[in-house]
Amino acid sequence: METQGKRTGWKINPIYREDAFTRKNEEEDAIFYSLDRFVDHLDSLALSTVEKIINSLVIEKKPAILDLMAGWNSHIPETMIPSKVVGLGLNRNELEKNRSLTECVFHDINHDFHLPFQSEYFNIVMNTVSIDYMTHPVDIFMEVGRILKPGGLFLVIFSNRMFSEKAVKVWRESSEDERVILVQEFFNESGMFESPSVFVSKGRPRPKDDKYANSGLPSDPIYAVYSDKKGGDPLRGRRPTIMNDYGVGWTPEEVERKKKRVKETLKCPYCGEKMKKWAVPNNPFSYTWDNDFMYICFNDGCQYYVRGWDHMYREGNRGISYRLMYNPENDCCSPIPVRSSESLRDGIIQE
Ligand SMILES: C[S@@+](CC[C@H](N)C(=O)[O-])C[C@H]1O[C@@H](n2cnc3c(N)ncnc32)[C@H](O)[C@@H]1O
């Protein structure tokens, strides 16, 4: 991998900084991961999103799958019937207890980035909540490209938790949005893949049974960056869009009907929750509405708001979603942009 002086959208691409892939703890990974960790690295809603992503994107019949940097759970839906699932990781007990795996391989990819598999062997390679620990990601992405069949999928899924001492510097120091760009860069720099796609699920309420449910934390965000290896069958077309379940699934017609009744109900036409009265800020630079207040849906589980993160990402607007706002003056609904679940809440008028 080249290490100096390359330029991209950043002034200087941080993946080419000399210390980008250094870690606070440089002891052998095999030592760090010799400790069994039979824990969930994500909350249950986020875990179900991971399964949905895999279920939506893996369209091959009886695929040969590699779970790269595997632990005790590969998140492969029970309804999927792969021809084989190889788990490559460092913890023997975890891999042996992983019910999806048909084969375990113990190999330290930071020690030797060459993957111990023949070329064009797998249909799918997935890497879940582990990309932050790769010290030679571009080399590894090239290797993944080598062992995938043409048109095969490399699916990288991550969230925002990490073993900080083992995560590489560039990952630790990047924002969540920048991490998506980093992974896109790994794909692009490897030269083996089509232009990568992105899926984002964030800002959803934490499941009620979660130990942090009452801490004000939202559910763990899920980011997926994925791409097919170049050279696939041009007739197969693109992989399907990831199907997430965003709560109430009203049809667009039902939503339109509910929009017409917002004036009398003051309920969000997307989730049915009562909207909150919200004071328009007295700020000449931000807003130009004449009225003193609006109604906004502040439900963090509202499909309109939750989908917004992914929609805005796809449009190139990173780190932004929107909430549904009702203007009582002109009886119209429109989106109002937000950067987090807390945005705009200062203006809520208690009634
Ligand atoms: C946070 S866990 C994620 C496990 C699993 N992918 C999941 O979704 O639950 C990180 C995993 O990466 C593996 N890993 C870390 N460094 C590795 C390395 N240098 N080579 C191979 N595997 C590694 C560890 O064995 C560990 O299971």
- Amino acid identity for residue 247 in this structure: G
CATH code of 14-236, in short, is 3.40.50.150
Comparing 58-62, 250-254, 262-266, the range with the smallest average pLDDT is 250-254
Q: Above 50 in pLDDT, residue 140?
A: yes
Residue nearest to atom 18 of ligand 1 (CA): 108
Mean pLDDT of all residues belonging to the chain: 89
CB 226 within 8 A of CB 156: yes
93: enclosing H helix or E strand:
helix 92-97
pLDDT classification of 29: cutoffs 50, 70, 90: very high
Predicted local confidence at residue 79, as pLDDT: 93
| C-alpha 130 – ligand 1 centre gap (Å) | 6
Q: Above 90 in pLDDT, residue 250?
A: no
Q: Starting at the edge strand that comes first in sequence, how are the strands of the sheet with 222-228 ordered?
A: 103-106, 84-89, 64-68, 122-128, 148-158, 222-228, 197-201
Residues with CB under 6 A from ligand 1: 29, 33, 41, 69-71, 73, 89-91, 94, 108-110, 128-130, 133
Domain boundaries, the chain: 14-236, 252-347
CB 337 within 8 A of CB 320: yes
Residue nearest to atom 20 of ligand 1 (CA): 108
Q: Is the pTM of this model over 0.85?
A: no
| Cα–Cα distances in angstroms (integers) from residue 287 to residues 291, 310, 318, 337, in the given order | 10, 25, 22, 12
| C-alpha 75 – ligand 1 centre gap (Å) | 14
d(CA 135, CA 84): 27
| C-alpha 129 – ligand 1 centre gap (Å) | 8
| C-alpha 121 – ligand 1 centre gap (Å) | 21
d(CA 85, CA 65): 5
d(CA 289, CA 329): 10
Of 9 and 43, the structure prediction assigns the larger pLDDT to 43
Name the DSSP class of 348. B
